[in-house]
A and B are shown apart, each in its own frame.
Chain A
Amino acid sequence: MRKVLSLYVPVAALVGYIFLFAPLLVLVIYAFNAGRSTVIWEGFSLAWFAEAFRDRGLRAGLQVSVIVAFASAALATAVGTSAALAVVKRPFAGKNLFSTLVIAPLVLPEIVLAVGLLVATVWTGIPLGYGTLIAGHVLVSIPFSFLIVRAAASGLDPRLDEAAADLGANGRQVFLRVTLPLLAPAILSAFLLCAVISFDNFVVSTFVSGVGSTPLPIQIYAMLKTGLTPKINALGAMLIAVNVLVILIVMGRYLKTVRKPS
């Protein structure tokens, strides 16, 4: 009985990890399959990748997604960083309330945020397009950039600022020569993660993308509703590769900072 119990946890964890990775693995492997089957291996082929690149809708979607991801990540990182610096470095009243407001989009159901943005465009008459997409993605990304930079900034030794000030640096110099360089890796991580969040965003995009500004996930969703093709597997495999690369860049840095003390 004791033995069964002590085995239960590792076995459950193993099954959990298989559950998480098996679907992705199957998707990636069969993206390279020459045939249409997802079981029988009919030989290695890059044909489906070529097919995915030839698809006009997917190409247009990719272009929209890349533009929106970079623009919204840049904005969200700037906004989140300034909010994080205010919370960590400056005294002001209502700090908790302010933090709650900044993090709120993370906790509220995303569909409600999306409805709010759509209704606001209906009310103001702002046309749907790149602008509304970027605004929506900025809204859902800010909590992430805020939390990442806040964690990094609150880990900085405040004596560094004092030392710089003692050596005659003014506020701006302290910020530009001490604080900002120390936070640069965290700000870069925040930017990359915000870009991934925007690139993957589905719910907000459903509501606020207009004709001619349909991002990639919405294109894929429309194709999935009519049926799965190996072309989508190939595209999925490429997206997985890009996402994993970004995660490894961000996490590699994070793991290094975690290991340092030991």
Chain B
Amino acid sequence: MTAARRGNLVTLALLAPSLLSAILLLVIPILIVIAFSFAEQDTYGGAKFGFTLTSYRELFQSIYLPIFVNSLQLAAVSTLVCLLVGYPIAYFIALRAGRYAGILLALLLIPFWIDFIVRMSAWMVLLGRNGTINSALLGLGFIEQPIRMIGTYPAVLVGMLYAFLPTTVLPIHAALNGLDRRLLEAADDLGATPLQSFWRVTFPLSLPGVMAAILFVFVPAMGVYAIPVLLGGGKSIILGNLIVQLFLDFRNIPLGAAVSVVLLAISSVIIVCYMRVLRSVEEARA
């Protein structure tokens, strides 16, 4: 065996496990989902392969449209809230924290790695009818009746912010941390106020990080389902709940597959747009 052929074999052996798992666990399953979305439901909760647009037609009926609107709205509002809260944190760590930056960044990662369900149960402790916040307010005499917080839209937003805040801060921090400080000094020397140098220098240069944050929050936010159930009382149905219900409760595989395909399509469009915009930003800078 020649050395070159041997090298190729080694490369192939290194690539094989990940290629195999990507094909078996990702590519083929998604192709099956797409195939099932065109299948027909049989009476036993199974699906018959065929080509029908029944599921998609059903999906674009009036009962399902609000679910899409709700999900996109929740994802958009959550992303906006995460950016408004996360940007100052990223800015502080990157440009003001000095030698504490490493520790602050590390602290940020702790909630990110803590069990998702435990994090949500912590908020249920705080927001519940007899929870910490209500009891404290009652005890201090600020309110006379407990405020209903679980089951409201703000509670869902708090849960979303809690779930996605670290994901928002990390890419923005990375962009701000790579910023050439001399640009800010130059802006200062040229007489820019701090606000001007922020809007004209810092913010534009942090945009790639902001876009990555949007991608990492908006796309998963469209598919969440535990947060609205636990903190929102499960009242407003969004895509995540709909998919879980269709598969696990109603056993309507074709319709569930169709919803998943639409979610996948929306996500893919967003991911492709992100990559395009990022490339054009990088080209403009080069």
Partners in one complex: yes
Most buried by A among B33, B115, B130, B240: B115
Choose from A16, A24, A82 the contact partner of B122 (Cβ within 8 Å): A24
* B111 part of interface (Cβ distance < 8 Å): yes
Q: A109-B263, A138-B25, A200-B116 are in contact. Are A16 and B88 (CB under 8 A)?
A: yes
What residues of chain A lie closer than 8 Å to B115, measured between beta carbons? 199-200, 217, 236, 239-240, 243
Q: A26-B132, A30-B125, A243-B113 are in contact. Are A113 and B26 (CB under 8 A)?
A: yes
* B68 part of interface (Cβ distance < 8 Å): no
CA distance A20 to B166 in the complex (A): 9
CA distance A32 to B103 in the complex (A): 28
What residues of chain B lie closer than 8 Å to A206, measured between beta carbons? 244, 248
Kindly supply a per-residue 1/0 record for chain B positions 90-124, scoring 1 wherever the CB is within 8 Å of any chain A CB and 0 otherwise: 01110010000010101111110111111111111
Choose from B7, B15, B257 the contact partner of A119 (Cβ within 8 Å): B257
The answer to whether B21 touches A27, judged by C-beta atoms less than 8 angstroms apart, is no
The answer to whether B18 touches A82, judged by C-beta atoms less than 8 angstroms apart, is yes
The answer to whether B126 touches A20, judged by C-beta atoms less than 8 angstroms apart, is no
Closest residue to B256 on the A side, CB-wise?
A: A115
* A160 part of interface (Cβ distance < 8 Å): no
Closest residue to B45 on the A side, CB-wise?
A: A122
* A79 part of interface (Cβ distance < 8 Å): yes
Of residues 57 to 104 in A, which have CB atoms within 8 Å of B's CB atoms?
A: 78-80, 82-83, 85-86, 90-92, 98, 101-102, 104
The answer to whether A247 touches B10, judged by C-beta atoms less than 8 angstroms apart, is no
Closest residue to A117 on the B side, CB-wise?
A: B29
Quick check: which of A6-14, A44-52, A183-191 contacts chain B, the rest being far away? A6-14
The answer to whether A251 touches B106, judged by C-beta atoms less than 8 angstroms apart, is yes
The answer to whether B117 touches A247, judged by C-beta atoms less than 8 angstroms apart, is no
Most buried by B among A9, A115, A136: A115
The answer to whether A26 touches B125, judged by C-beta atoms less than 8 angstroms apart, is yes
Q: A199-B115, A247-B113 are in contact. Are A101 and B194 (CB under 8 A)?
A: no
What residues of chain B lie closer than 8 Å to A199, measured between beta carbons? 115
Interface size on B, residues (CB 8 A): 88
The answer to whether B257 touches A24, judged by C-beta atoms less than 8 angstroms apart, is no
The answer to whether B15 touches A224, judged by C-beta atoms less than 8 angstroms apart, is no
Of residues 203 to 240 in A, which have CB atoms within 8 Å of B's CB atoms?
A: 203, 206-207, 217, 220-221, 224-225, 228, 232-233, 235-236, 239-240
What residues of chain A lie closer than 8 Å to B240, measured between beta carbons? 111
* A167 part of interface (Cβ distance < 8 Å): no
* A116 part of interface (Cβ distance < 8 Å): yes
* A130 part of interface (Cβ distance < 8 Å): no
Top-9 shortest CB links A-B: A116-B29, A109-B223, A12-B88, A39-B135, A13-B92, A86-B14, A23-B122, A83-B18, A111-B223
The answer to whether B89 touches A16, judged by C-beta atoms less than 8 angstroms apart, is yes
Min C-beta distance of A181 to chain B, whole Å = 18
* B36 part of interface (Cβ distance < 8 Å): yes
* B219 part of interface (Cβ distance < 8 Å): yes
The answer to whether B89 touches A12, judged by C-beta atoms less than 8 angstroms apart, is yes
CA distance A170 to B204 in the complex (A): 50
Q: A111-B240, A112-B260 are in contact. Are A23 and B116 (CB under 8 A)?
A: no
What residues of chain B lie closer than 8 Å to A22, measured between beta carbons? 126
What residues of chain A lie closer than 8 Å to B110, measured between beta carbons? 243-244, 247
Q: A109-B264, A111-B225 are in contact. Are A39 and B32 (CB under 8 A)?
A: no
The answer to whether A202 touches B117, judged by C-beta atoms less than 8 angstroms apart, is yes
User: Known pairs A38-B126, A228-B124. 11 more at Cβ < 8 A?
Assistant: A9-B91, A30-B125, A79-B18, A109-B264, A111-B244, A116-B25, A116-B33, A117-B29, A135-B25, A220-B121, A225-B229
